[in-house]
Amino acid sequence: MKSYRPHPAWVPWLFLAPFLGLFTTFIGWPLLRSLVLAFEQTYGPRTRVFVGFLNFRGVWQDPWFWTAVGNTLWFAGGILLVQIPVALGLALLLNRPGLRGRALFRLVFFSPYVVGAVFVSTLFALLLEKRIGLVNHALHALFLRWDPDFPWLDQYVMTSLIAASVWLSTGFNLAYLLAALQNVSRELLDAAAIDGAGPWHRFWHVTLPEIRPVLNILILLTVTSGLQLFELPFILYNDTAGNGPNSQALTVVTYLYQTGFISGNLGYASAIGWILTLTLVGLALLHRRLSRSEDYSA
Partner 1 sequence: MRRRLTLAVVYALLVLFAGLMLTPFAFMLASTLKTKADFVNTLFLPDGDGWLGVGWDRLTLANYRRLFVELPMARALLNSAFLASVGSIFATLFSAMGGYALSKFEFRGREALIRLVLGALIIPAPLLIAPGFQNLWKLGLLDTYTGLIMPGLAPAFGVFLFRQAMLNAVPSELIDAARIDGAGEFRIFFTLVFPLVRPMVGAFLMITFLGVWNDFLTPQVVLQSPDRYPLSTTLAMLRNLDWNDYGLVLAGTLVSIAPVMCLFLLLQREFISGLTSGAVKG
Q: How far is the CB of 258 from partner 1 (least distance, A)?
A: 11
Shortest Cβ distance from residue 3 to partner 1 (Å)?
4
Residue closer to partner 1, measured from CB, 99 or 191:
99
80 or 280: CB nearest partner 1: 280
Between 156 and 230, CB nearer to partner 1: 230
Four-CA torsion 12, 17, 18, 21, nearest 10 degrees? 150
Contact 55, 271 (CB under 8 A): yes
Q: Smallest distance from the beta carbon of 288 to partner 1, in angstroms?
A: 11
Name the nearest CA neighbour of 251 among 234, 266, 274: 234
CA 58/CA 26 separation, integer angstroms: 28
**CA-based R_g, the chain, Å:** 24
CB of 158 to partner 1, least distance (A): 19
Give whichever of 192 and 216 is closer to partner 1, judged by the CB atom.
216
Q: Select 81 or 138, whichever has its Cβ closest to partner 1.
A: 138
Smaller CB distance to partner 1: residue 81 or 93?
A: 93
Task: With beta carbons less than 8 A apart as the criterion, state whether 207 and 184 touch.
Answer: yes
Cα(171)–Cα(91) distance, integer angstroms: 10
Least Å distance, CB 181 to partner 1, is 10
**Least distance CB 287 / partner 1 (angstroms):** 11
